[in-house]
Amino acid sequence: MLPVAALTLIADPIDWSPLWISLATSVTATLVTLVLGVAAAAWRERRGGAGVAVVDGIFLLPLVLPPTVVGFFLLLLFGRQGPLGKVLLRLGTSLVFSWPATVIAAAVISFPLMYLTSLAAIEQVDRHYLQAARTLGASEWRVFREVTLPLAWPGVLAGAILSFARALGEFGATLMIAGNIPGRTATIPIAIYFAVEADDIQRAMVWCAVDVAISLMLLGSLYYWTHAQVPGRARWGRR
């Protein structure tokens, strides 16, 4: 005899669209934060002073604020009465309650992780290599592209993995600005929440299992990657 939960899922098969929406959202948001986070970290590494501390605070704000608060600010910004929302309406479009809104929410929430990790990686690059490249006549852009970025790449990639994992689990800001539209904005965390709201515990458990499996794969990849960069270590431990 099949368990009751299995019979229930067979009778009412799961809509797997939240999985594909979550993956597409997380990949896109990670690419956005990868570019913006590395650029912001490279800019920050060359700056100092009190003004930079304010910029740091703004960059890191999504990390400490509740996601619903971040989502509310995004709604004020991109809503019909918001400054960017009005501009988009004049162009005949709107981002609120659409798939791009899920990407914006995930990118904003995951940006601090990408920024912090990239900044730490860039700051660890030996200054002597950069100075040698400048002495040979390389421009700042070429120094960054051909010296700084390759040396900092392991840390940047680790930040991208963490950002992807954070984007995958984003819930509060996404619900505020994108809502729960099946097949369009309903991500895995939102599917879990509304399954519990509907007292469909079996379906919620399935989505939780999917989310945990993806997260464990990401954490395993991060562990392997960071340990593979340390000289004298084997793939899964010390030599």
- For the stretch 157-207, pLDDT in tens is 888 988 999 999 899 999 999 988 888 999 999 999 999 998 889 989 999
**Cβ-contact 74, 108 below 8 angstroms:** yes
**Cβ-contact 175, 69 below 8 angstroms:** no
Residue 238 has pLDDT above 60, yes or no: no
Please state the rounded mean pLDDT for residues 116-133. Answer: 87
pLDDT of residue 155: 86
Residue 14 has pLDDT above 90, yes or no: no
Amino acid at site 102: T
Residues 23-60: b if buried by 16+ CB within 10 A, e if exposed: bebbebbbebbbebbbebbbebbeeeeeeeeeebeebe
9: left (phi over 0), alpha (psi -120 to 50) or beta: alpha
Distance of CA 212 to the CA centre of its chain: 16
pLDDT of residue 228: 64
CA distance 215 to 220: 8
CA distance 61 to 132: 36
**Cβ-contact 158, 117 below 8 angstroms:** yes
Residue 134: enclosing H or E segment and its boundaries? helix 127-135
Number of helices and strands in the chain (H, E): 12, 2
What is the SS3 assignment for 1?
coil
Alpha carbon separation from 171 to 116, 164, 166, 174 (Å, rounded): 22, 14, 10, 5
The token pair that represents 14 in the structure block: 């799961």
| pTM for the model | 0.83
Residue 202: enclosing H or E segment and its boundaries? helix 201-228
pLDDT of residue 112: 94
The 10s digit of each residue's pLDDT in 17-39 is 899 999 999 999 999 999 999 99
The token pair that represents 183 in the structure block: 């097949």
The yes/no answer on whether domain 17-194+211-230 falls in CATH 3.60.20.10 is no
pLDDT of residue 231: 52
Domain extents in the chain: 17-194+211-230
Confidence of residue 5 (pLDDT cuts 50, 70, 90): very low
Residue 72 has pLDDT above 90, yes or no: yes
**Cβ-contact 122, 75 below 8 angstroms:** no
199: number of Cβ within 10 Å: 8
Confidence of residue 215 (pLDDT cuts 50, 70, 90): confident
Of 111, 118, 116, 126, the residue nearest 157 (C-alpha): 118
